[in-house]
Amino acid sequence: MRNRTAWLIAALLVLPAWGCSSGDPFSYVPVSGTISYEDGSKLPAAVRLAFISQLEPVDGKFHARPASAFTNEQGDFDSATSRRQGDGIVRGKHKILVILEAPNSERIVPPEYMNPRTTPLEVDAQDTPFDLRIRKP
């Protein structure tokens, strides 16, 4: 009887935790870093970075969420957000887009960095903090 009671208590403690999954099959890594030009000079404005996961969908239906990070005027960012504020990026490789939300942004960021097919920026989540370098336009 004692063993059965102990087993029942253990089951009651485990079952609620088992059902509390978010349904998201991915794990996230907090990231930080800096972006500058190849010569080390700072970009003349803050930018938004979009991290696009290169992972294949899980079970053909779960796609990794893209993440965003906002730099300060010095080009530094201390977090990225995928689902919840500051949760990071999905583990694995990511293409990075550099987005400047202002007219004539091609004067600050070359167009290839704004397109997921042409951006040469790629990182692995495990290599944080990132030191991102882009060419001057």
**What DSSP string runs through 71-136?**
--TTSEE---BSSSTT--EESSEEEEEEE--STTGGGTS-GGGGSTTT---EEEGGGPSEEEEE--
Q: What is the pTM of this model?
A: 0.79
Q: Is position 97 within any domain?
A: yes
Q: Is residue 2 part of a domain?
A: no
The overall longest dimension of the chain from CA atoms, in Å, is: 77
Q: What is the pLDDT of residue 56?
A: 86
Assigned token pair, 61? 């239906």
Low-confidence ranges of the chain (pLDDT < 70): 1-23, 103-105
Q: What pLDDT shows up at residue 49?
A: 98
In which domain, by residue range, is 52 found? 25-134
Does residue 15 sit within a domain?
A: no
Is 18 inside a domain boundary? no
Residue 1: its pLDDT value, please? 46
Give domain status of residue 112, yes or no: yes
Indicate the number of domains in the chain.
Answer: 1
Q: Is residue 42 part of a domain?
A: yes
